Structure 1
């Protein structure tokens, strides 16, 4: 299963993960205002003269329900606009919740339906935004202008605003919120901090350490296969071959031909290594039955030496281990170090996402909305440099500071306080940093500061322990991202965001392929090595029964079309 399905559930990953002028304008808990947002669209609006109003907002993710004006940031935004939102979050099954809305034809004023967005669109529940943007959205035009063609549906209307528009110079995350092969710090320490780059080097490193500690009941390597997160096991061969996460396909940089890798030599090589590790007792057989919580629990147990996954997906476990490090007096041996592993020396890794635009998720105004004009004005006001700084960084002097060079940073105390989700909600960052019209996570302000605090090198480095800094220094870097190659420009990226028409051969391929992989991956990995080739060939035969050629043809056409739109 590709990351397409992951995004259907969590919205983007990622991750995984933002200032205007040299000196910030807000102090204390008051944001700078400006009397004319139509002529200076990077400044926040002055307090509105209209009557206060409360709109409803359903966000299809887990969080505590609240009124936005009960948060510090929400109150500032209400002072500017007179608008408050009563926020409801998902409890239970998303499809059931969305289905109930559609059946009753009653919706919240605004809706971020995540994977339910296709059903919402099919039901005609979102209103067109084109005219509203033209009349009341100068900032919306500024932010989304380069992507407007991608945002339009077949009828020419824009029905929702995505969360990934890159504004300013693109800035990758200095830490790793995307894919990597992770290894315990103690394994690197034991080996003298060697430079590990290739597939065989990585697995031999783990094998050697496990061999020295046979009585410790260690797991050499573990994988995640639970539910929609199965992509954590199917995606690695793509990365090992030097491709970014385009989902089901590897896209040629020049021709843009898109080919599946589900049954190519890359996946065969990946599964053969897992099969060998299993035969040697170094692979966790429960990888094919454990659920997500069990997987995270094993990562925090200290017994797993290595795994592949995306930083955003294992962040909970990584943060738990950091907490344990503090309790253990700073010993971080059981924490993990991300590595950009590739099959062979000379292959350029592409784990770090390039600048991208995900146009299949977003937030829209529904047909039940009481006052769409007021809502679009709020969205427009939200998309100023100052308000994006507010919702991402928080309040100056409380959540971040500014040095004499105009660089935004956080003190250790501020970093520690924001690790508390309840505190983040109280401030409002926990509600506003995503799922609203926003500058994408890799964006920068005109002065060069990162829109997302996690992408500000000063913030990343301040969050590192002395032991982390020392370990990074052994590799000649100051951040984890410096271990990875810079991403190549891919205008279509990510291919997994391309929506396929229901019932077409291409869509049928994506629907049936995961079932074949689920059936065979466990068999192939857990089989005795002498049965590997026969099972692999059987698996390839089943994949070839699917409409592969039709899927590849469709994806090639769609990748080329998306590239043309983004350039045109």
Structure 2
């Protein structure tokens, strides 16, 4: 779904003299040029810039204490940036449609969340976003230095920065949340393999009524978390089958063996992928997978409510707010995190691509001030406020690089706007194994660099085909990979409708990749 971590050596800080000289030539900032981005106090004889309200659109649900956090942020910026924040939260299930309509209608938005799995490349091709290279050089020294150069290089589009990548590691963690209390109640040993996981799921189905054994993601926007597709992250994916850059959450067009080629399931079905689809079908028919899987908008809701024994998650460990919500209904209940990722050095490929970006729409009337705000937010003290809430009320510091949430007034969501490896803290409530895994993802030496690292697909030549294809895929993909429909008949229908479009996309993608590799 929505988060990825990154780390690495920080790049050099942009020279302050260049920053100040550049600021003076931009109209929106006005007299803000007299204060360096992120400055918290006016210099003697300077004029405070005119007030502006930045409208920011991000996914998720608004935390209870969010307004108090924003009020504190505005107070801190009052004598420097003089910015007010109008942050609009969009439910995940509505995100694709809402952001698409917002951008196509020309509605005035200053910052907006987007991602390769959403419609980032399509919106870039449509000219919806402002190139940020010059704005970052002038107004974003903290943004630049807080992200490693490899991260910037791998996340440009046609050589330009079209969105600020948010994350703090080279590979995203993948786990199942497993009800440890139920596992122990059923006398089942700690889960080490996927087969162990499924045996536990069947035991829950047989012996624990009113608990859904397995809840994968059913919404198309999160199709990478569907039961069958999620299997490609595990160690038994010997050929390293991965979604291709053109359709970043879909296995229909895919890469394997790091050979620089794009493969097409409509041309020839991969035995491993077909086995994942067939297995999902069996689990669904056996009522192990939730019968309502395609209607579940947020997989963590049944988890919090104590209604699920196994839930998929895109991060290592168990989030503190999820654990607390579960225990509030049943103090004896507890989740543990189980991963089947291949931890052997060099076994996992990384292209250093990010899953989460924040971009500046071209229609924004406050582009400079928007980047100045994000630069302010990339300073440690301000980052702490926006990411964890009000100190000592919503969270407490554990040393210099860890945190612990207090209560349920705030939640963790930095990936939607400010996440970076330099100012980020690690959750102190996580167990030692999770902390170890987080450190593993932060070390680039643990992974093999994908041949396609740094490649970004220009979808302009096939934008119409992609639009038509994704509409067709939405009818079939999640249903197939969650076992809701008969694989044979629905695959045939899917192929008949979508194969010609997928072929055009594949050929264009391979053409661009060949040109990219020829230049390396």
Is the structural similarity TM-score above 0.5?
A: yes
1:416 is the counterpart of 2:406: yes
Partner of 1:75: 75
Deviation at 1:203, TM superposition (A): 1.4
Question: Structure 1 residue aligned with 2:216, among 215, 223, 230?
Answer: 223
Assess, with a 3 A threshold, how the Cα gap between structure 1 residues 409 and 542 changes in structure 2: closer, same or farther: same
> What is the TM-score with the length of structure 1 in the denominator?
0.63
**Secondary structure in 2 aligned to 1:362?**
strand
Asked whether the 8 Å contact 2:258–2:450 carries over to 1, the reply is: no
Deviation at 1:235, TM superposition (A): 1.9
Asked whether the 8 Å contact 1:163–1:358 carries over to 2, the reply is: yes
CA distance in 1, matches of 2:370, 2:307: 51
Q: How does 1:116-515 map to 2 (within 5 A)?
A: 126-143=129-146, 146=150, 158=161, 160-164=162-166, 170=169, 178-190=173-185, 194-211=189-206, 213=207, 216=209, 218-233=211-226, 234-240=228-234, 241-242=236-237, 243=240, 247-249=249-251, 250-252=254-256, 254-260=258-264, 263-288=269-294, 290-292=295-297, 298-300=302-304, 302-310=306-314, 319=321, 322-326=324-328, 328=330, 330-332=331-333, 335-341=334-340, 356-358=352-354, 361-364=357-360, 366-367=362-363, 369=365, 372-384=367-379, 387-388=382-383, 391-392=386-387, 399-401=395-397, 403=399, 407-410=400-403, 415-417=405-407, 419-421=408-410, 433=414, 435-436=416-417, 438=418, 440=420, 443-444=421-422, 451-453=423-425, 456=426, 459-460=427-428, 463=429, 477=433, 479=435, 481=437, 488-490=447-449, 498=457, 500-501=459-460, 502-503=462-463, 509-515=469-475
Deviation at 1:500, TM superposition (A): 2.6
Asked whether the 8 Å contact 1:67–1:84 carries over to 2, the reply is: no
CA distance in 1, matches of 2:129, 2:504: 32
Asked whether the 8 Å contact 1:182–1:307 carries over to 2, the reply is: yes
**Secondary structure in 2 aligned to 1:545?**
helix
Deviation at 1:420, TM superposition (A): 0.8
Deviation at 1:225, TM superposition (A): 1.7
> What is the TM-score with the length of structure 2 in the denominator?
0.67
Partner of 1:545: 499
Assess, with a 3 A threshold, how the Cα gap between structure 1 residues 341 and 116 changes in structure 2: closer, same or farther: closer
Asked whether the 8 Å contact 1:150–1:562 carries over to 2, the reply is: no
CA distance in 1, matches of 2:436, 2:188: 14
Structure 2 stretches lacking a partner, 5+ long: 10-15, 21-35
CA RMSD, Structure 1 to Structure 2 (Å): 5.3
CA distance in 1, matches of 2:137, 2:439: 44
**Secondary structure in 1 aligned to 2:189?**
coil
How many positions carry a matched residue from both structures? 470
Assess, with a 3 A threshold, how the Cα gap between structure 1 residues 299 and 558 changes in structure 2: closer, same or farther: farther
